[in-house]
Each structure stands twice: as structure tokens, then as C-alpha cells.
């Protein structure tokens, strides 16, 4: 170990010399003997204040890890420059790359290549595919939704108008914000979107646009800008023309003189929506990766919050315990499991129980036996017991507002494990620890399309999960979204089997009677696929050959079925959420702000791959 450290020291002194010569800034030049890691940060540009804050956070957080050196590059918004930056960083010997990509998907190959050499954290702008260790960013669709909710509330029942000022047109966050904003406004007949202009994130450009379109702007009630800088630009142009009665709302919520918080405080902006840079999270997670800690997720989405003047007055409204806990007391987690419907669920329960034990967390565990009332009662019992954190796997998406308000009022944070909920106030849930179910559905469809690509008339039946549950809703959505693009493929039938093996069998039996020909079965989980396999065999057909079968989860029994040639593919959805959950619980108790959503890592296992990897499956 010592030899390695010394080795590293020489190695890094060389790197640091070259790094310092090559790059504009370097965090620390103390030349400590115990340097253990060098992190390279490839920043897209420093012309946006938000990115300066990102770098500052990275630098600050890095100071908590004495053995860490951080080196920065600035691509000045050029894709070519960022490619060269990454190359330089890699060749100088960094251990991990944090990259905040420029606005171009063409940067993806450079990131992919680096990922084959070392861990890579992608910050802020998502890139296509999964060739990186971890993505950290805001949920920009939610940011757009939050903006629209504000507009609706501000305008109320009367007729009203709004103008939108967006960031750079090709940028993914812009598309997402626009989408969330429009979706939420849909159905509000009284609100008219008067226009949408792109000002490339720049204050002065927004000011010019407003100045050149004063007529239009003076007819609007609300102006929504995709960042606070542009919102301020709008304000300046309007103020110059003597127009001061408009509600202007921005995004970012940075501190500092021209930061969104000060602008809201001064009444210049009506509201801002905070959009964390992820700098702090990136460094903390980089250290988790470098030190090979348990429970590493694939994607982390950071929380955005609407900030108005009155909210500023009583600070952020996230749950905060008033009575400080004694650090000597064991941390208590109340976990309400939804039932025992599948192999996945059993593996999930085991993972939670064993991870709690391993982390020294006292676990109060309740099983709701697939009954929402019972699950609500379990949550209430945790509130009564004054646990430190509540986690639950919500059986369905809706119907939780009341009990979650009670938890919030009691100052107890709630983590949704595995499934999401739909609530009117998103601060009711502190963190979601979930898989990307829509993506799972898309991946299943992708496999079907690849497998049956040339066929003309492919008839697919779907066996759905429990109606109203997040995985059933989203797996259906992701799958249908892709299949519907191909006229050659049709989902001819869909019935729920509630994630239960027997029900999968029943649904399939009926479908085989109803349809003279079925080519593909898409089941929302493995258990139902296994039930369907039984039904197909009983009907005298060969599962896996006469009918292709794809499902989701990746449990052992599915791998066994693939080994036997009866199941064709499973899309992985890991139930091993225990370690990540315990990490989140301990982070919260230690005073760290939890991200809004944490996505787990998942793969796709077609039959031939499954045969080889069956031995290494842990659930």
C-alpha cells in the first residue's frame, strides 16, 4: 500500500506539474504527500454564472477530502475544445473525470472513450446512452412543470397571457423545460402562450428581445425565462419603458448580487426555481466511486424548488426536525413494504433488511399485503413512533397526499423506494430511489424490434403490472411509445396480471383463446412471464420459439427459464435498493440535502447472454 502511495506521489507530482502548466486553474498547490486522487473537471463554459457556481462548489467540496486534487478546464462552449480538454486531462493521469458537456450530442463519443479508461461523472447535460458511471442533473421537465404551476396560480381563473424566454435552442434542458411547461399548461384554456423566444441564456439578449417586442410584452401577464439572468434582462427592458406590473419568473436561484434569490428578495422577480448545479454532489459521489463504496446509482436528479418572497421569508419548506436528535441514539427507519407479490419483491425486502443491519440502522418493518389502506396505516404508525426517516414502496401512485402531509407536519422526511407517487406538492417526498420504468419499457420494445425487425405483421400482447402502480403505468408508456412508431408491429391486447405469477397464467390462457396468432408476449415482470410460459405450454405451443417472450426484472427464475430456452429476454430492474436507501437515510441524518431522485443501474439480458451470466446473479 505504502509503495503504491509513494508510486502515486511521484506519478502525481509529474502530472500536477504538467497539469498546472496546461490548465488555467488548479485547486491546491500544497504538494501534500498523501495525494491519493486527481479529479479532472471539463467545464463547458464559464460565461454563465451558474457554471461559475458549479466550479466553486466542486472546489469547496473538494476541500473536505484532503488527499484530492482537482483540475479544471474551460471549453468556452466549443465542442472541439472540450474534446481536446478531455484528452489532455486523461493523458495527464487523472483518476476520474467530471464533465459538464457542451451543448452537443457529438461530445458523447469522447465521453464514451474516457469511460472505457476510468470512471466518468456527467454533470447537468445528459448524453444519449449509458456510457458513463453516473449522471447528475436537475429534472428539467419538473422545473418546467413548476414554472407552469406558478403561472396557473398567479393567473387564477381569469384570462391571462404568458411569454417564454428560453435558453439555447438545441439544448436538452431547454427542450425538457419547454415540454414540462407546456404539458402542465395543457387544459388551462384561460391561459394563452403569446410567444416563445430564445435568448441563449444571456441577460443582454433577453433585454434586447424584450425591448424590440415591447408591444407584445406589454400584453403579457407573466414572463417565464429559463434562467434568472434572462429574467433580469426582461425586467430591465420593461422597467426602462416604465412597465412594472408584470410577474417575471426565472430559474437558477443563485446567491450573490445578481443571483435569483437577491432578485426575488428585491421584488424584481416574482419567483425563481432553484436549479442546483450538482457540484457538491459530484465530488461526494466521485469519492464514493473512487473508494468503491456500496450502493452507487446510475443517475441522480437534484431537487428544484419554487422560491417566492414569502417562501424566502420562512426559508425552504422542506421537512426540518425541530427537536435535534441525540447523535448517540440509533437511527430509526420505518419501512412500509407493499407486499410479497413477486420474486423481485422478496429480494427487495431481503436487501432492505440486511442493509439496515449492516449500517447499524434500527428498522421498523411493515408489510402491507398489497393493501393501500394497510400501507397508509403503517406510515401512520411510523409517524406515531417518531422515526427519523420513513421509506415506503407505494403500491399505487395516487392517494398519498393526506398521510404524507402528516409526515411533513411531523418533520419526518419520506423516501419513496422503488416506486413513485403522484402528489400535488412535490415537497411531500424528499427523495425517490427508483428505476427508470419508462426506459425499461423502451428497452423491452427495442429488443422486440431488433428481434423481429424484418417481419411484417408482428402481433404483441402485453401482460401488465398492477393497474395504477408506477411500474405498470410507465413500462406500458415506454413500450408503446416505441412500438407505435412501427406500423408492422401492433399491441393487439393488454390485460393486467398485477405482477403475480398465477394471474399472468390466467391472462395468457384467455389471450390464447381470444387470438388465433400471438407472436410476442411482453410481461411487465418475470413472474407473470413465467405464468404465461405455463399457459403457452399447456396450449401445446413452445414458449421462446412459437411465441417470443420478454419481461422485466431479471430474477433468478427468469435466468433459469432463459437457460431452458423458454424465455427470450429480461430487462433488468434491480431490487437491491437496500444499500442506497441506507446511504440516503444516513446522509439525511448527517445533515446532507438529499437529491430528488436516484436511479439505479440496469442492463438487458437476452437469452444467449443470460446463459453465461446466470451464475453471477445475486437475486
Q: Would you tell me which residues interact with ligand GYE (CB under 6 A)?
A: 341-342, 344-345, 418-419, 471, 499, 525, 552-553, 573
* Nearest in space to 413 (alpha carbons), one of 584, 560, 616, 292: 584
Q: What is the DSSP letter of 127?
A: -
Q: Which residues pair with 43 in a beta bridge?
A: 74
Report the residue number, 8 or 345, with the smaller CB distance to ligand GYE. Answer: 345
- Other C-beta atoms closer than 10 Å to the C-beta of 534 total 17
Report the residue number, 150 or 344, with the smaller CB distance to ligand GYE. Answer: 344
User: What nine digits make up the cell of 534?
Assistant: 405455463
User: What nine digits make up the cell of 572?
Assistant: 433488468
As measured in angstroms, the least distance from the Cβ of 472 to ligand GYE is: 9
As measured in angstroms, the least distance from the Cβ of 63 to ligand GYE is: 39
Report the residue number, 146 or 525, with the smaller CB distance to ligand GYE. Answer: 525
DSSP 537-601: HHTT--BTTTBEEEEEE--HHHHHHHHTTS--EEEE-----HHHHHHHHHHHHTTPPPPSEEEPP
Going by DSSP bridges, is the β-strand pair 520-523/271-274 parallel, antiparallel, or unpaired? unpaired
Report the residue number, 344 or 382, with the smaller CB distance to ligand GYE. Answer: 344
As measured in angstroms, the least distance from the Cβ of 392 to ligand GYE is: 12
Report the residue number, 200 or 341, with the smaller CB distance to ligand GYE. Answer: 341
Report the residue number, 341 or 388, with the smaller CB distance to ligand GYE. Answer: 341
As measured in angstroms, the least distance from the Cβ of 434 to ligand GYE is: 8
* Nearest in space to 444 (alpha carbons), one of 480, 486, 417: 480
As measured in angstroms, the least distance from the Cβ of 342 to ligand GYE is: 4
**Residues whose CB is less than 8 angstroms from the CB of residue 139 and which lie 6 or more positions away in sequence, other chains included:** 301, 302, 304, 596, 597
Report the residue number, 100 or 570, with the smaller CB distance to ligand GYE. Answer: 570
* Beta sheet of 247-252, edge-to-edge order: 191-198, 160-166, 222-225, 247-252, 271-274, 306-308
- CA atoms of 46 and 484, how far apart (whole Å): 42
CA angle 417, 420, 421 (to 5 degrees): 120
- CA atoms of 298 and 130, how far apart (whole Å): 9
Q: Which residues pair with 493 in a beta bridge?
A: 461
- CA atoms of 548 and 541, how far apart (whole Å): 11
Q: How far is CA 611 from the centre of its chain?
A: 31
554 touches 570 (CB < 8 A): yes
Q: Which residues pair with 433 in a beta bridge?
A: 417, 598
611 touches 544 (CB < 8 A): no
Report the residue number, 342 or 599, with the smaller CB distance to ligand GYE. Answer: 342
**Residues whose CB is less than 8 angstroms from the CB of residue 264 and which lie 6 or more positions away in sequence, other chains included:** 253, 270, 271, 272, 307, 308, 309, 312
**Residues whose CB is less than 8 angstroms from the CB of residue 146 and which lie 6 or more positions away in sequence, other chains included:** 180, 273, 304, 305, 306, 426
As measured in angstroms, the least distance from the Cβ of 345 to ligand GYE is: 5
- CA atoms of 117 and 384, how far apart (whole Å): 50
What are the CA-CA distances from residue 442 to residues 129, 222, 375, 448, 457 (Å)?
13, 37, 30, 10, 20
DSSP 237-269: HHHHTT----EEEEEE---STTSHHHHHHTTSS
As measured in angstroms, the least distance from the Cβ of 470 to ligand GYE is: 7
As measured in angstroms, the least distance from the Cβ of 475 to ligand GYE is: 8
Report the residue number, 152 or 419, with the smaller CB distance to ligand GYE. Answer: 419
Report the residue number, 283 or 473, with the smaller CB distance to ligand GYE. Answer: 473
550 touches 571 (CB < 8 A): yes
Report the residue number, 48 or 440, with the smaller CB distance to ligand GYE. Answer: 440
As measured in angstroms, the least distance from the Cβ of 208 to ligand GYE is: 49
As measured in angstroms, the least distance from the Cβ of 442 to ligand GYE is: 15
Helix ranges restricted to H, 484-555:
501-514, 526-538
As measured in angstroms, the least distance from the Cβ of 610 to ligand GYE is: 17
As measured in angstroms, the least distance from the Cβ of 499 to ligand GYE is: 4
As measured in angstroms, the least distance from the Cβ of 466 to ligand GYE is: 8
Report the residue number, 146 or 342, with the smaller CB distance to ligand GYE. Answer: 342
As measured in angstroms, the least distance from the Cβ of 425 to ligand GYE is: 23
Report the residue number, 131 or 397, with the smaller CB distance to ligand GYE. Answer: 397
Report the residue number, 254 or 355, with the smaller CB distance to ligand GYE. Answer: 355
Amino acid at each position: 500500500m505504502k509503495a503504491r502511495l509513494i508510486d502515486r506521489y511521484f506519478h502525481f507530482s509529474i502530472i500536477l506539474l504538467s497539469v498546472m502548466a496546461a490548465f488555467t486553474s488548479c485547486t491546491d498547490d500544497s504538494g501534500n504527500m498523501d495525494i491519493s486522487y486527481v479529479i479532472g473537471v471539463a467545464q463547458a463554459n464559464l460565461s454563465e454564472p451558474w457554471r461559475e457556481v458549479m466550479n466553486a462548489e466542486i472546489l469547496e467540496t473538494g476541500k473536505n477530502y484532503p488527499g484530492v486534487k482537482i483540475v479544471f478546464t474551460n471549453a468556452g462552449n466549443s465542442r472541439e475544445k472540450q474534446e481536446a480538454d478531455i484528452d489532455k486531462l486523461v493523458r495527464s493521469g487523472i483518476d476520474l473525470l467530471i464533465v459538464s458537456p457542451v451543448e452537443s450530442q457529438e461530445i458523447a463519443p469522447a465521453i464514451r472513450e474516457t469511460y472505457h479508461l476510468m470512471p466518468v461523472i456527467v454533470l447537468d447535460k445528459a448524453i444519449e446512452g449509458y456510457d458513463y458511471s453516473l449522471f447528475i442533473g436537475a429534472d428539467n421537465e419538473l422545473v418546467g412543470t413548476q414554472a407552469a404551476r406558478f403561472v396557473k396560480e398567479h393567473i387564477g381563473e381569469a384570462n391571462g397571457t404568458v411569454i417564454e424566454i428560453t435558453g439555447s435552442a438545441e439544448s436538452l434542458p431547454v427542450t425538457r423545460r419547454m415540454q414540462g411547461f407546456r404539458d402542465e399548461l395543457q387544459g388551462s384554456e384561460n391561459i394563452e402562450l403569446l410567444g416563445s423566444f430564445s435568448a441563449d441564456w444571456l441577460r443582454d439578449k433577453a433585454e434586447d428581445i424584450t425591448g424590440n417586442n415591447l408591444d407584445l410584452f406589454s400584453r403579457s401577464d407573466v414572463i417565464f425565462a429559463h434562467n434568472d439572468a434572462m429574467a433580469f434582462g426582461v425586467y430591465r427592458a420593461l422597467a426602462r419603458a416604465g412597465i412594472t406590473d408584470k410577474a417575471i419568473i426565472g430559474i437558477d436561484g443563485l446567491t450573490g448580487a445578481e443571483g435569483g434569490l437577491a432578485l426575488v428578495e428585491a421584488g424584481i422577480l416574482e419567483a425563481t426555481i432553484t436549479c442546483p448545479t450538482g457540484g457538491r454532489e459530484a465530488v461526494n459521489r466521485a469519492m464514493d466511486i473512487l473508494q468503491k463504496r456500496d450502493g452507487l446509482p446510475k443517475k441522480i436528479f437534484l431537487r428544484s424548488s419554487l422560491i417566492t418572497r414569502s417562501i424566502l421569508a420562512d426559508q425552504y419548506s422542506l421537512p426540518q426536525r425541530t427537536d435535534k436528535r441525540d447523535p448517540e441514539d440509533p437511527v430509526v427507519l420505518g419501512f412500509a413494504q407493499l407486499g410479497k407479490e413477486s420474486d423481485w419483491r422478496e429480494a427487495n425486502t431481503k436487501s432492505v433488511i440486511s442493509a439496515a443491519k449492516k449500517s447499524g440502522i434500527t428498522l421498523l418493518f411493515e408489510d402491507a399485503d398489497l393493501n393501500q389502506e394497510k400501507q397508509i396505516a403503517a406510515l401512520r404508525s411510523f409517524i406515531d413512533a417518531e422515526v427519523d426517516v420513513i421509506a415506503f414502496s407505494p403500491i399505487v401512485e395516487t392517494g398519498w397526499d393526506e398521510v404524507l402531509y402528516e409526515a411533513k407536519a411531523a418533520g419526518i422526511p419520506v423516501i419513496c423506494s422503488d416506486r413513485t407517487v403522484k402528489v400535488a406538492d412535490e415537497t411531500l417526498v424528499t427523495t425517490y430511489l427508483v428505476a427508470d420504468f419508462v426506459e425499461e419499457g423502451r428497452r423491452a420494445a427495442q429488443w422486440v424490434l431488433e428481434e423481429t425487425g424484418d417481419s411484417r405483421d408482428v402481433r404483441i400482447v402485453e401482460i401488465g403490472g398492477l393497474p395504477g402502480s408506477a411500474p405498470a403505468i410507465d413500462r406500458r408508456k415506454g413500450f408503446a411509445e416505441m412500438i407505435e412508431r412501427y406500423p408492422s408491429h401492433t399491441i393487439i391486447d393488454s390485460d393486467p396480471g398485477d405482477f403475480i405469477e398465477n394471474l399472468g397464467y390466467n391472462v395468457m390462457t384467455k389471450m390464447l383463446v381470444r387470438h388465433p396468432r400471438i407472436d410476442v408476449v411482453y410481461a411487465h415482470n418475470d413472474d407473470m412471464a413465467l405464468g404465461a410460459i405455463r399457459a403457452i405450454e399447456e396450449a401445446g405451443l413452445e414458449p421462446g420459439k412459437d411465441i417470443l417472450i420478454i419481461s422485466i426484472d431479471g430474477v433468478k427464475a427468469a435466468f433459469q427459464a432463459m437457460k431452458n430456452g423458454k424465455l427470450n429476454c429480461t430487462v433488468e430492474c434491480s431490487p437491491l435498493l437496500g444499500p442506497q436507501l441506507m446511504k440516503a437515510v444516513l446522509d439525511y441524518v448527517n445533515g446532507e440535502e438529499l437529491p430528488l431522485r436516484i436511479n439505479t443501474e440496469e442492463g438487458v439480458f437476452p437469452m444467449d447472454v443470460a446463459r453465461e451470466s446466470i451464475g453471477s446473479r445475486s437475486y
